[in-house]
């Protein structure tokens, strides 16, 4: 699936989207690097947010919004194609929690994040606090 909006700027390409997880790839380019030539940490946070949000929306079958993004940077990288994969930790009526790992072409862990999502109803309102 071709990425749209902000994901397109990151170069994200979704290769698998299921209710139990998402896989996406992107290539490290000079536009995604910080001044020292290393992939910018904000890109990794954004990938966690995007892949986790697509995961949650696919499972919920509706809109979701991120409420917390915690991303750990494990290994610096300057180039190559990276792969992000999500797995569910918790999926409930009002919120979800997803783990997202980003690896390089040698399957080395580059970053690991957790994204908490609020499930929205079809009108875009949150469901937190509802019975």
Domain range for 47: 6-119
Whether 86 is in a domain gets the answer yes
In this model, does residue 131 exceed pLDDT 50? no
Whether 20 is in a domain gets the answer yes
Is residue 125 very low, low, confident or very high in pLDDT (cuts 50, 70, 90)?
low
- The number of folded domains in the chain is 1
- Token pair 């494990």 is at which residue? 74
Whether 11 is in a domain gets the answer yes
CA 2 to each of CA 9, 25, 43, 87, 114: distance values in angstroms, whole numbers, following the listed order: 12, 11, 18, 21, 24
Whether 111 is in a domain gets the answer yes
pLDDT at 84: 98
pLDDT in tens, 49-97: 999 999 999 999 999 999 999 999 999 999 999 999 999 999 999 999 9
Whether 127 is in a domain gets the answer no
Indicate the pTM of the whole model: 0.91
Mean residue pLDDT across the chain? 93
Which of 2 and 11 is assigned the larger pLDDT?
11
CATH code for the domain of 92? 3.10.129.10
> What's the distance, Cα to Cα, between the start and end of the chain in Å?
35
């Amino acid at each position: 699936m071709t990425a749209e909006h902000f994901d397109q700027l990151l170069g994200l390409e979704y290769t698998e989207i299921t209710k139990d997880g998402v896989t996406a790839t992107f290539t490290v380019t000079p536009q995604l690097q910080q001044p020292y030539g290393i992939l910018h940490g904000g890109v990794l946070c954004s990938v966690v947010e995007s892949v986790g949000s697509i995961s949650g929306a696919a499972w919920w079958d509706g809109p979701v919004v991120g409420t917390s993004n915690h991303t750990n940077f494990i290994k610096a990288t300057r180039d190559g194609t990276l792969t992000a994969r999500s797995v569910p930790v918790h999926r409930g009526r009002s919120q979800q929690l997803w783990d997202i790992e980003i690896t390089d072409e040698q399957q080395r862990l580059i970053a690991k994040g957790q994204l908490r999502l609020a499930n929205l109803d079809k009108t875009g309102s949150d469901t937190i606090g509802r019975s």
